[in-house]
Structure formats: C-alpha cells, structure tokens
C-alpha cells in the first residue's frame, strides 16, 4: 500500500469510483436537529402495541359516512392530540445548560404537530399542523389537505433556506459564534455550499398559495408514520430521535392482523384475530419519569376501546 492510499484510508476518504453527494438544504436542517437531539437528549422509549380491532372497524364506517376526506394519519393525529391534552409535559420544549445543570421546561400553549412527509424525489421534511387542539376532526382534515395542496406550488428549497437562516441567527444570539460562522460560510462557499442568497430568498410571500417557513419547522411534537413506506411492514419502530427541542415523539408502524389465544364462552382456549398497531413513544427523560407519559397511554387505551368517540370530534 502506497503512502497516499494509506492516508486516505486512515481519513476515511472516498475511494475511486465512489459517488459523493454533499448535504443539500433539507439534509442540513434535519441533520442539525437530529444531531442536537442525539448529543443532548436523554431519551426514553416505550413500545406500545395498540389493539385497534374496534377502532379500525369504527374508522372505516366513519370514513364512509362522514361526508369529507379523512385519512388514517389524520384520525391518528387527533388521537395524539387528545392524549396530549391530559399529558401536557409531553407537549413541551426543553432548555438545559449541562454546565450549570439548570433547565427550563416550556409547556407549549398550542399543540403544533410536525408530520414528516415524503416528496416524489424521496426527500423527507416535516409539515406542521398549527394549533391542532383547537380544531374539529373535519377542520384538521381540511388543514392537512390544504398543506398538501400548497406543497405542490412551493419551492421547498426557498422555504428551507429561511429555516436555516432563522436557525443560524438563533445560534448567533445564543453565543455560539464559531458554529454560526461555520454554517454561514459553508452555506455559500466551498464544496458544501447550497446556493446563492438571491436564488433562495423567499420573495413570493404570504398570499396563502405556498407553504411558509413556520409551517415547516419542528413544532411542539412530532407524529411519524412508517407504515405507508412498505405495505408488508412487519415490525416495530424501536428507536427514533426526537426533533430537538421537542420532548415527545409518536412513531407508528403498519396496522396488521395478529392471531391471539383467548378463552371462549365455554372456557376453552380458542384462537382469534385482532388488528394491532405498533406505536413507539419516545420522550425526553428530563421532563420526569414514565408516570408523566402514563396519562397519555391511558387516554389512548380509552379511545381505542371506545372508538365511537371519534364521531364527537
């Protein structure tokens, strides 16, 4: 092995024939949030298998008769919101100084749900549904449909540029001078530059036809659904980082039929089939213990066992 090849190997540099793709705007935004979470958030996770047998049947009936478009994601967002109403610590942002061990939990006034969506080119970013706790199920569904319609007319890179600019200002104001300089410089010069300022300034402003910066940031809580990625998905999400500075995230798998054993009316062991939805709940352990998440879980149990409540939403 020659010296140059030895050094390249030691530094982990790409080999001849490798394809190198530098982070774009979306990768830079998500990379920052997720890395901050991994570095700073002591996360606790709980795998919750929801028995959706009654709920699924009621949802299909409601969907056919309600008179407006509604998706499974929308109904589960409403379930999430109802759970957060009784567990407010989960709908919070947290600030913490590791040097002084001082911290602040900011209980958010509104439940602003960040919902990652996938574009046709495979890119992922979060759409935000604002003040979800104030909306009926129909209003929630209408708002989500509106977000997706405006998404079609939006130059996402232009909006993401604003998100990066806001985050960079936040770094500067918090005293992180070196990261601020580094992110600013690498954004416009060198092999990691993303674009020119004039190409990404969001000029076609607030006429309601396009998405705005405040509809793409992390919100107060995150709901993500892995189920649609693969129809035959047969497993549980075991871990996913929070969207810093959120304290809670709910990740869903795919609804599936599961066989189970039970005793019938004769007292004999029998086999049945039920619909199960694997749900992973991730929360920042600094907000407290598992007891802070327990009201949320109990509320979900109540809803899934009494699904007719969705008709009052």
pLDDT for 128-168, tens place per residue? Answer: 888 999 999 999 999 888 888 877 777 666 666 666 666 66
The residue range of the domain holding 105 is: 44-152+216-312
Q: Tell me whether residue 14 is in a domain.
A: no
Domain of 222, CATH number, reads 3.30.559.10
Predicted model pTM: 0.76
In whole angstroms, give the CA distance from residue 118 to residue 120. Answer: 7
Most confident of 63-77, 93-107, 200-214: 63-77
Q: Tell me whether residue 210 is in a domain.
A: no
- How many domains, in total, are found in the chain? 1
Q: Tell me whether residue 184 is in a domain.
A: no
pLDDT interval class at 64 (50, 70, 90) = very high
Residues 6+ apart with CB under 8 A from 210: 150, 153, 154, 155, 159, 204
In whole angstroms, give the CA distance from residue 293 to residue 209. Answer: 38
pLDDT for 111-125, tens place per residue? Answer: 999 887 776 666 676
Beta bridge mates, 275: 257
Q: Tell me whether residue 99 is in a domain.
A: yes
In whole angstroms, give the CA distance from residue 55 to residue 305. Answer: 7
Is the pLDDT reported for residue 177 higher than 60? Answer: no
């Amino acid at each position: 092995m020659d010296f140059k090849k030895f050094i390249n190997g030691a530094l982990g540099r790409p080999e001849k024939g490798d394809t190198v793709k530098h982070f774009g705007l979306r990768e830079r935004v998500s990379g920052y949030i997720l890395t901050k979470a991994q570095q700073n958030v002591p996360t606790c996770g709980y795998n919750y298998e929801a028995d959706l047998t009654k709920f699924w049947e009621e949802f299909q009936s409601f969907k056919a008769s309600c008179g407006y478009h509604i998706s499974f994601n929308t109904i589960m967002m409403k379930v999430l919101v109802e759970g957060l109403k009784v567990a407010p610590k989960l709908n919070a942002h947290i600030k913490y100084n590791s040097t002084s061990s001082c911290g602040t939990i900011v209980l958010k006034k509104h439940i602003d749900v960040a919902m990652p969506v996938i574009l046709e080119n495979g890119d992922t970013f979060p759409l935000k549904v604002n003040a979800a706790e104030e909306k009926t199920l129909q209003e929630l569904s209408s708002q989500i449909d509106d977000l997706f319609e405006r998404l079609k007319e939006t130059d996402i890179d232009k909006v993401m540029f604003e998100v990066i600019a806001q985050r960079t200002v936040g770094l500067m104001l918090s005293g992180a001078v070196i990261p601020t300089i580094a992110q600013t410089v690498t954004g416009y010069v060198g092999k990691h530059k993303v674009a020119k300022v004039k190409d990404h300034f969001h000029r076609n402003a607030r006429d309601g036809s396009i998405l705005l910066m405040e509809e793409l940031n992390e919100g107060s809580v995150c709901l993500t659904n892995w189920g649609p990625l693969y129809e035959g998905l047969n497993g549980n999400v075991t871990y996913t980082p929070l969207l810093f500075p959120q304290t809670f995230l709910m990740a869903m798998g795919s609804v599936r039929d599961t066989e189970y054993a039970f005793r019938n009316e004769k007292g004999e062991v029998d086999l049945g089939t039920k619909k199960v939805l694997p749900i992973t709940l991730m929360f920042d352990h600094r907000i407290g213990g598992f007891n802070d998440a327990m009201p949320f879980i109990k509320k979900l149990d109540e809803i899934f066992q009494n699904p007719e409540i969705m008709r009052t939403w």
